[in-house]
Amino acid sequence: MAEKVKLSKDGSSIDFVQSDSLPTSLKKFRQSPEIEGFYRFIFENDLQKEAYEILDRIIIQRKAKKAGAKKEAAAAAKEEKAAAAKKDLKAKKK
């Protein structure tokens, strides 16, 4: 399928085969030449532990960001509900 990943002589860059279209499914994404080359690079250079740690950090950051956004949305909804209740109370007093 894809050839071995090519590392530059000084080790500062990696050559991957790039495709023109984006994969439409998760299975196709994992089998795309770019991702396959990335997996191969990690395996051939024995970087599994480092890759796992990096991906784990990214997942934790995304979960924290998502939880923060969820709390923020809940707080905004609560404020909106309180404002609507206050407006209804004023309308009833008149």
Q: What is the DSSP string of the chain?
A: -PPPPEEPTTSS-EE----SS--SSHHHHHTSHHHHHHHHHHHHTT-HHHHHHHHHHHHHHHHHHHHHHHHHHHHHHHHHHHHHHHHHHHHHH-
Q: pLDDT tens for the chain, 94 residues: list them.
A: 445 566 777 767 776 656 566 667 777 777 788 888 888 899 999 999 999 999 999 999 999 999 999 999 999 999 998 888 888 888 877 6
pTM over the 0.75 mark: no
Strand partners of residue 6 = 15
Quote the pLDDT of residue 66. 93
- Domain positions in the chain are 1-46, 48-94
CA gap 64, 67 in Å, rounded: 5
Q: How far apart are CA 76 and CA 80, in angstroms?
A: 6
Residue with tokens 């707080």: 75
